[in-house]
Amino acid sequence: MFIPGNNPGMMQDAHVYAPDSIMLDLEDSVTLEEKDAARLLVYNALQSVDYGEIEMVVRINPLGSPYGHKDVQAAVKAGAHVIRMPKTETAEEVVELEKAIEQIETSLGCVGRTKIMAAIESAQGVMNAFAIATASKRMMGIALGAEDYCANLKTSRSKEGAELLYARQTIVVAARAAGIDALDTVYSDLNDMDSFRAELRLIKQLGFDGKSIINPRQIEIVNEIFAPTQKEIEKACAILAGIKEAQKRGSGVIAVDGKMVDRPVVMRAQRCIDLAIASGIITKEDVYE
Amino acid sequence: MEINTASAGTLESGDILVEIIPARQKGIEIILSSAVSHQFGKQIKQVIFQTLSELNVTDATVHATDKGALDCTIRARVTAAVCRATKTDVWK
Amino acid sequence: MNKIANRVKQIEAMAQKTGFPVYSEGKNPLVRGKIATPRKELQQASPKLVSLEEAIRQSGLKDGMTISFHHHFRSGDKVINMVVDKLAEMGFKHLHLAASSLIDVHEPLIAHIRNGIISRISTSGLRGALGAAISHGLMDEPVIFRSHGGRAAAIANGELHIDVAFLGAPSCDSLGNACGYAQGENVKSICGSLGYAKVDAQYADKVVIITDSLMPYPNTPNSISERDVDFVVEVDSIGDAAKISSGAIRDSKNPRDLLLAQTAAKVVINGGYFQNGFSIQTGTGGASLAVVKFIREKMIEKNIKASFALGGITTHMVKLHEEGLIERLIDVQSFDRGAAESLINNRMHKEVSANEYASALEIGSAVHWLDMVILSALEVDVNFNANVLVGSDGVIRGAIGGHPDTAADAALSIIVCPLLRGRIPCVVDEVTTLITPGTSVDVIVTDYGVAVNPNRPEIAERLKVAHVNVVQIHDLKEKARKIIGDADPLPFGERTVGIVMSRDGSVMDIVRNIKDK
């Protein structure tokens, strides 16, 4: 969930809506005059507010701007889990960010703490998606930023999203190939929840791991669409129980309902259960007791 | 340290508007307006004072208009105001 | 022969035996002779129809007596200020003003209190400058605060004796048949139910109806019967129509309200009382209204219908009624225009007096038959006590309303409030002022989790099964403390400016004056 970095009211309680991840934004939602104040606000909030288990992301300004390196410093010092780099076009930019992070982490004695997410927002970025996704061991995900991308393509956004199809598929494939997450762009019309739903169904089908959102009201709908069905959960539980059983017997071969189960199926089952827990359909106790 | 007049923050709910002006006399003077001044006035002033001390500001007048800000926000706004007032940067 | 003249002796004998007088033409002043005036004209000459000053004079009002008002006109009310201005002009002193509630528009009372015209007040609440002035010690006598049910009971049992009631009515005929709207007629404003005023009309010694829409007789239906009315005063305006009944309160888009509402709806749906024929009352806050939306979806999905919705009725409830999801509406106060219009148009929308609504003394009062109520609060404490009257700054800024009545009598009472409002904690060690005792509060819904009164372990169990985030109330309080720090005590003085009455007529708490720093 995107939170403007200069809005303390929203920053203080964004976590009560229980998003998977909160992204405090220093880039587009902050005016040039307020960059310094927002950076301090984000820095102090990250250190003081109890965000619990939520993944905390800071979107920095481009490293080439007068603000980028200061943003990195503030985010790393404050202990953000992830730095989101905007408008990423090449693998070299990721490497530059990695170096900046590493330098600060070295001085703090916490090397390796901060992960990187790259936002791909241009045609060049899409063409380099795989290189970007594999540019650093800190890379945890790549995300599509559709507004800038559409401007770059010389088109505009439509409800159906035909103009984004290539970028979306490229990003999902690149992320999968690199073994990291693929995250979709925001949907900003809060008065059209039906189109938002349709877009969520599309990106889930394309293989995305999640969706960027701009308002807590969107959380429930994302969870609803991404949540596995009861049938899927039951099947997944049976598969995971089968593994446990097999491990007890010391057998590497698992069969559920007489069918052999191989590794991808187990991984999918685990992912289904994780999602079900994240969506609040079941609790950890339901699965692991 | 030379202090010019500068401010940071907004009057949005959960924020605090901090204005720093050159000291009229020696020391720190804090003028606070807040709906929760009965219960939290002392604490808010304490946070402002402490943040100023950490930034080595010894003489200044501070006008703070609080809209229910938490301590971390107060610290951030005071720091931003001081940086602007002294044209310094906490990020090297 | 069987002639009257022959029976005179026997008539006289029977009159003597039964103690009745003997009939004599024209002698009894109560039986008028033939009047030939067309009745339309005669209505205009109703002896009840007088000026405000004349009504006051004829009512026998004296210094020190009790006058009463209702608050059905909300912030559109002009009646209270108009009447008290007139009383001041006529030189009355030391009156006791007993209103069902007082709000921002009643600020001019401050001057009347200073000038000794009003020296005592009984009300459900105080707001704005009046509340602030009284909190700072404006009055010598403490204000008596009662809940809506508590006030109705106190009036019925004589604890609160009303000498003269001044009751504004959107429509009234010259005989005193008064109503909060008018069937088929155009009136200047409508307020819907006159539930609070009905009690005053029934029990006050003298009743003055003040209206700006004098209707031809008979004004039916009537909320208040001519039998209870002594005077009818026609004025230019009883209030601002747009403020008396506003448009439907807009659905909140505030994410926090929606989060609270969604959680509260889960509690309603899984608390054990959500079954066919259930009954419910909700408030008018953003979160309360949004709860209705979420419950509605579940009612349709599970094909569950409610037998009645109670209380302050809103357009939201009317919609569910018109969709067939709620059979009946029981209405002591119509909160918006949609609710007021529904009272005109829907047969199953019933107006009730505050006694029938929430009196603890009446076995038949509707709150006794209520399954669930959703309430808000300024603050709650670790013992589930609630405060809806005194703000975190120690200033009286709210109203008791039906809070303690519904909380005590409903099978499941739910309070919805955020953990923090800005830097103001809403879950504290001990409430600033005790209004609704914790024994009557079952569930507290916050944005940081749901606390269930330890008296109701079965509810906690049901909610846990439904994956509601059930937490300990002490943990909520600690959470708030961790975020905002420890609050310094409020600078209360030693004077008592308010007395909070329990609905059973005992003293629950007192409010002390607040000092400025």
User: Which range (A194-203, A215-224, C50-59, C350-359) has the least confidence?
Assistant: A215-224
Q: What is the DSSP letter of C375?
A: E
Query: Dmax of chain A from CA atoms?
Result: 66
Which residue bears the tokens 């899409």? A126
CA gap A74, A94 in Å, rounded: 18
Q: Comparing C-alpha atoms, which of C266, C279, C271 is closest to residue C306?
A: C279
**Alpha-carbon gap, residue C86 to C90, rounded angstroms:** 6
pLDDT digits (tens, 9 = 90+) for C106-132: 999 999 999 999 999 999 999 999 999
C contacts of B39 (beta carbons < 8 Å): 392, 487-490
Q: What is the pLDDT of residue A253?
A: 67
HEC sequence for A230-282: HHHHHHHHHHHHHHHHHHHHCCCCEEECCEEECHHHHHHHHHHHHHHHHCCCC
Residue with tokens 């048949």: C177
Beta strand A115-120 with A139-144 is: parallel
Q: How far is CA A224 from CA A210, A220, A238, A284, C474, in A?
A: 12, 6, 23, 18, 32
For C52-244, the fitting CATH number among 3.20.20.70, 3.40.50.720, 3.40.1080.10, 3.40.50.10780 is 3.40.1080.10
Q: What is the pLDDT of residue C8?
A: 92
Query: What is the predicted pLDDT for the residue at A284?
Result: 67
Of A12, A217, A282, the CB nearest to C255: A217
CA distance A69 to A55: 22
Nearest to A182 by CA among A133, A121, A112, A116: A133
At residue A242, the pLDDT reads 79
Interface mutation vs chain B, best among A36, A46, A49, A103, most B CBs within 10 Å: A36
Cis peptide before C221 (omega within 30 of 0): yes
Percent of chain C residues past pLDDT 90, beyond the cut: 88
Strand pairing class (C171-173; C214-215) = parallel
Q: pLDDT tens digits for chain A (289 residues)? A: 999 999 999 999 899 998 989 999 999 999 999 999 999 999 999 999 999 889 999 999 999 999 999 999 999 999 999 999 999 999 999 999 999 999 999 999 999 999 999 999 999 999 999 999 999 999 999 999 999 999 999 999 998 899 999 999 999 999 999 999 999 999 989 999 999 999 999 999 999 999 999 999 999 899 889 888 888 888 888 888 877 777 777 766 667 766 777 777 777 788 788 777 766 677 666 665 4
Cβ contact A37–B9 (<8 Å): yes
What does the alpha-carbon distance between residue C277 and residue A260 come to, in Å, rounded to a whole number? Answer: 51
Substitution target in B15, B36, B65 with the highest count of C β-carbons within 10 Å is B36
Which tokens in the block code for residue C312? 């302050």
Q: Give residue-wise pLDDT tens across range C293-349.
A: 999 999 999 999 999 999 899 999 999 999 999 999 999 999 999 999 999 999 999
Chain C residues inside the 8 Å CB shell of A227: none
Taking the CA of residue B34 and the nearest CA in chain A, the distance in Å comes to: 16
Span between the terminal Cα atoms of chain B, in Å: 18
Phi/psi at C349 (nearest 5 deg)?
-100, 110
Domain range annotation of chain C: 52-244, 255-490+502-514
* Overall average pLDDT of the C174-198 stretch: 94
Does residue B48 belong to the interface with chain C, where contact is any CB pair within 8 Å? Answer: no
Going along chain B from its start, the domains and CATH numbers come out as: 6-86 (3.30.230.10)
For position C250, what pLDDT does the model report?
74
Q: Identify which of C258, C255, C246 has the alpha carbon closest to the alpha carbon of residue C290.
A: C258
Closest by CA to A29, choosing from A11, A46, A5, A52, is A5
Instruction: Return residue ranges of chain A for CATH 3.20.20.60.
Output: 2-226
Q: What is the nearest CA distance from C189 to chain A, expressed in angstroms?
A: 34
In A, residues 138-177, which contact B (CB 8 Å cutoff)? none
Which of A3, A7, A13, A53 would you mutate first to test chain C, the one with the most C CBs within 10 A?
A13
Q: Are the C-beta atoms of residues C463 and C452 closer than 8 Å to each other? A: yes
- Neighbouring chains of A at 3+ CB pairs under 8 Å are B, C
Which regions of C205-277 does DSSP assign to beta strands (E)? 206-211, 214-215, 231-234
Environment class of A3 (CB within 10 Å of its CB; exposed 0-12, middle 13-18, buried 19+): buried
Exposure string for C396-412, b = 16+ CB within 10 A, e = fewer: bbbbbbbbbbbbbbbeb
Q: What SS3 class is residue C285?
A: coil
Residues of A in contact with B77 (CB under 8 A): 37, 40-41
Rounded to 10 deg, the angle between the C52-59 and C79-89 helix axes is 70
Asked if A74 and A39 touch (Cβ cutoff 8 Å), the reply is yes
Both tokens of C368, joined, read 């006794």
Quote the mean pLDDT of chain C: 95
* Alpha helices, H only, chain B: 37-54, 71-86
Q: Looking at A84-88, B26-30, C20-24, C432-436, which range is the least confident one?
A: C20-24
- pLDDT 10s digits, B28-81: 999 999 989 999 999 999 999 999 999 999 999 999 999 999 999 999 999 999
Helix B37-54 to helix B71-86 angle (10° resolution) is: 40
* Dihedral (Cα; A169, A172, A174, A180), 10-degree rounding: 170
Is residue A35 less than 8 Å (CB to CB) from chain B?
A: no
As beta bridge partners, residue C229 has none
In percent, the amount of chain C with pLDDT more than 70 equals 99
Q: What phi and psi, each to the nearest 5 degrees, are found at residue B3?
A: -115, 125
- The model carries a pTM of 0.90
Q: Cβ of B57: how many Cβ atoms within 10 Å?
A: 21
Domain with residues A2-226, CATH architecture: Alpha-Beta Barrel (3.20)
Chain C positions in Cβ-Cβ contact with residue A282 (cut-off 8 Å): 467
**Which pLDDT does position C465 carry in this prediction?**
92
Contacts for A131 with CB less than 8 Å, ≥ 6 apart:
A90, A91
- DSSP letter at C35 equals -
Phi and psi, residue C368, nearest 5°: -65, -20
**Distance of alpha carbon B10 from alpha carbon C428, whole angstroms:** 28
Output phi, psi for B41, to 5 deg.
-55, -45
Place domain C255-490+502-514 in its CATH homologous superfamily: Glutaconate Coenzyme A-transferase (3.40.1080.10)
CB spacing of C447 vs A216 below 8 angstroms:
no
A-contacting residues in C 437-476 (Cβ below 8 Å): 447-448, 467
Query: Is A9 in CB contact (< 8 Å) with chain B?
Result: yes
Q: Which residue of A has its CA nearest to C257?
A: A217
Enumerate the residues of chain C whose CB falls inside 8 A of the CB of residue B40. 423, 484-485, 487-488
Q: How far is C269 from A241, CA to CA, in rounded Å?
A: 32
- Residues in chain C with CB shorter than 8 Å from the CB of A215 are 255
In C344-391, the DSSP E strands lie at: 349-351, 372-376, 379-381, 386-387
Pairwise CB contact (< 8 Å): C491 & B14: no
Tell me whether residues B76 and A40 touch, CB distance under 8 A.
Answer: yes
CA distance C488 to chain B (A): 4
- Residue A289: what pLDDT? 47
Rounded to a whole number of angstroms, the distance from the CA of A9 to the nearest CA of chain B is 4
Q: Please list every residue in chain C whose beta carbon sits closer than 8 Å to the beta carbon of residue A216.
A: 255, 258-259
Read out DSSP for chain A? -EEETT-HHHHHHGGGG--SEEEEESSTTS-GGGHHHHHHHHHHHHHHS--TT-EEEEEPPPTTSSSHHHHHHHHHHHT-SEEEESS---HHHHHHHHHHHHHHHHHHT-TT--EEEEEE-SHHHHHTHHHHHTS-TTEEEEEE-HHHHHHHHT----SS-GGGHHHHHHHHHHHHHHT-EEEEPP---TT-HHHHHHHHHHHHHHT-SEE--SSGGGHHHHHHHHSPPHHHHHHHHHHHHHHHHHHHHT-S-EEETTEEE-HHHHHHHHHHHHHHHHTTSS-HHHHH-
List Cβ neighbours of A163 (8 Å cut-off, separation of 6 or more).
A150, A153, A155, A156, A157
Q: Are C299 and C306 in contact (CB under 8 A)?
A: yes
Q: Do B71 and C485 touch (CB under 8 A)?
A: yes
- The 8-class DSSP code of residue C223 comes to S
Search chain C and give the residue with CA nearest A215: C255
- The Cβ-side half-sphere exposure at A125, using a 13 Å CA radius, reads 25
Q: Among partner residues B9, B12, B83, which is closest to A36 by beta-carbon distance?
A: B83
Q: What is the average pLDDT across C53-70?
A: 98
Q: Report the interhelical angle of A263-278 vs A230-249 (nearest 10°).
A: 130
CB distance B41–C488 less than 8 Å? yes
